[in-house]
Structure 1
């Protein structure tokens, strides 16, 4: 999904959030056994929602938790703007607010989407993208990512989950993989090495393509088990895949993600998911939540603004009811076991 859309939507939502409290919510699950996706100990799924890119996102998480009767959101999710290198280096002041939120409880996760190139949504043509990727593979941008790592460590969030170069298998972002997959993988490895070189870091790197084939098979972009900690997937209710079963079973779909992660000894995640082309679709919402309950990702984060969301978007009331019933602290008989596929 477009970061520019997230930025504009997030900026205007503060004026309507209170009025939308009656339309839905997001929350956390109970401790469960980790699936075969690389973990063999008991693990709790950390649940979050993308509510705003900046400091208002922290406040809205508290509001959402109260609306759900006290269920805590343990995954704080935001994005660094990809317009300039200074922002990719972690310049936004809002990182301080997210760092304070993370440090308030030991069991929280801070999830940060990090662009791999500046002008990330500028419509840069494939030829120029390939040149930029090759420059990155040669190490010309290492210092930007080292600076980001230093800032995160200084802020006290050295265990941040880094969703690096998300949706790389798509057509839109400048950090897309298709123009030069081999050098793209080399560039990813350079970035990880640069960030891991900073003393005190404990980052985890999340490889998160779009669901489906898109511009290139995401498996062609995978940079290696030594530089990936989590196999993520951004999955919205849209084609390819008219039904949820098709979204699961399509080439490079949800089942292939789970199988790939298991084969590589990794946990899974869903950094972005939500409604989209099929409108207010409670069946999709029920099926996706059941999929999450069954496969137990490290974390998941619904994109909660229109048209994707259920709390800050009043146009999806039926899906909001399913979401709230499934995940609410006071869910009673409507808990996860009632929905598992």
Structure 2
């Protein structure tokens, strides 16, 4: 979720596909333990619409308001982050997890998406040499117990089917859980985390591998830990270079098209845990093309990052994009009101989450 090192891409789709995007029916049952959730699996191809609005309990409340603003469009993907400042928070200490768990359990077809850091001090400016040491320690199992505790906490809260976006934007330059300092041990560390969380009785977690769009610090394919420990191929994609146009964002090396092709080759669903406006400003054409790309390629879920400068609802800086987003995502069953009556911008994010 960092502003540093973000990217994006896309293409067009039909009006019918846009209707399917908004409709977003049930996901079907999550895969069995260790099973891949492929593009042609029984989980179906319906898209869960979501938005990142706040990492804590206010995020749940704002989802209701955003849904009303969209004329009743149901937001089935609830997306939040665990703070990456301390191990206790990575273990799931924030009380707001209880609120998110209640939201998830209120309807059977909802999807709870949780970004989980792989290391503490995740935005602490840790140098590459130290990052490599930490990754090697993780690959040896030093931190397994932290993720077992997180798994047990999620199961106890009644959300054993959480989608875990583990070590997101690992191909970038900034997060302590970045891959570049030691790709081979990074992959081993991912595998240890998944094994630790799968050891928890009653879990049915799915694991989302979500790099930044583009090459960034390292080709994200070099960080891919294996089909047996990944269920979804995600991508964080913002409207910024490289990729001045949406077509460039689609076709660039390690861009949106390569994500789709890679996922298909590996039998996985795709996702967009983070997308939104950025360096290219208020760009309604980008929003139109991204929504069409999502409708065409049918990810498991997508979640717009809705705070300034990325957002369209809590941010007043992008009025033209806001109109397009509302037009495309609204069910047209009435008009609601923005959160806080005036749609004021919010920058509420978890400490050290990105």
Work out whether the TM-score is over 0.5.
yes
Q: 1:232 aligns with which of 226, 231, 234?
A: 234
Alignment deviations for residues 199-257 of structure 1 (CA, whole Å, 9 cap, x no partner): 00000000000000000000000000000000000000001111000000000000000
Shift of 1:30: 2.0
Question: Quick one: structure 1 residues 110 and 3, their matched pair in 2 at CA, closer, same or farther if it must change by over 3 Å?
Answer: farther
Matched residue SS, 2:315: coil
Shift of 1:331: 8.0
- Once residues 212 and 300 of structure 2 are traced to their aligned partners in structure 1, the CA distance between those partners, rounded to angstroms, is 18
Question: Quick one: structure 1 residues 250 and 37, their matched pair in 2 at CA, closer, same or farther if it must change by over 3 Å?
Answer: farther
- Once residues 238 and 114 of structure 2 are traced to their aligned partners in structure 1, the CA distance between those partners, rounded to angstroms, is 19
Question: Quick one: structure 1 residues 87 and 32, their matched pair in 2 at CA, closer, same or farther if it must change by over 3 Å?
Answer: closer
- 1:330 paired with 2:329, answer no
- Residue pairs, 1:273-284, within 5 angstroms: 273-284=275-286
Matched residue SS, 2:23: coil
Which residue pairs with 1:2 in the alignment? 2
Matched residue SS, 1:78: strand
- 1:96 paired with 2:98, answer yes
Which residue pairs with 1:15 in the alignment? none
Alignment deviations for residues 264-319 of structure 1 (CA, whole Å, 9 cap, x no partner): 00000000000000000001000000000000000000000000000000010100
Which residue pairs with 1:29 in the alignment? 22
Give TM-score, length-normalised by structure 1.
0.88
CA contact (8 A) 1:138 1:187 kept: yes
Question: Quick one: structure 1 residues 39 and 318, their matched pair in 2 at CA, closer, same or farther if it must change by over 3 Å?
Answer: same
- Once residues 37 and 209 of structure 1 are traced to their aligned partners in structure 2, the CA distance between those partners, rounded to angstroms, is 19
Q: 2:127 aligns with which of 125, 128, 136?
A: 125
- Once residues 313 and 28 of structure 1 are traced to their aligned partners in structure 2, the CA distance between those partners, rounded to angstroms, is 23
Q: Which runs of 4+ in 1 moved over 4 A?
A: 31-34
Matched residue SS, 1:234: strand
Matched residue SS, 1:233: strand
Which residue pairs with 2:164 in the alignment? 162
CA contact (8 A) 2:240 2:279 kept: yes
Which residue pairs with 1:39 in the alignment? 40
- Once residues 311 and 273 of structure 1 are traced to their aligned partners in structure 2, the CA distance between those partners, rounded to angstroms, is 14
Shift of 1:320: 0.7
Unpaired stretches in structure 1, ≥5 consecutive residues: 5-26, 333-341
- Once residues 239 and 51 of structure 2 are traced to their aligned partners in structure 1, the CA distance between those partners, rounded to angstroms, is 16
- 1:261 paired with 2:263, answer yes
- Once residues 40 and 130 of structure 1 are traced to their aligned partners in structure 2, the CA distance between those partners, rounded to angstroms, is 37
- If asked which structure has higher relative contact order (CA below 8 Å, sep 6+), I would say 2
- Residue pairs, 1:295-306, within 5 angstroms: 295-306=297-308
Aligned residue pairs: how many? 309
Which residue pairs with 1:315 in the alignment? 317
CA contact (8 A) 1:146 1:197 kept: yes
Q: 1:82 aligns with which of 81, 84, 89?
A: 84
CA contact (8 A) 1:325 1:331 kept: no
CA contact (8 A) 1:48 1:76 kept: yes
- Once residues 317 and 21 of structure 2 are traced to their aligned partners in structure 1, the CA distance between those partners, rounded to angstroms, is 23
Matched residue SS, 2:225: coil
Matched residue SS, 1:268: strand
CA contact (8 A) 2:26 2:109 kept: no
Which residue pairs with 2:55 in the alignment? 53
Give TM-score, length-normalised by structure 2.
0.85
Unpaired stretches in structure 2, ≥5 consecutive residues: 5-19, 28-36, 335-354
Question: Quick one: structure 1 residues 93 and 3, their matched pair in 2 at CA, closer, same or farther if it must change by over 3 Å?
Answer: farther
- Once residues 31 and 301 of structure 1 are traced to their aligned partners in structure 2, the CA distance between those partners, rounded to angstroms, is 13
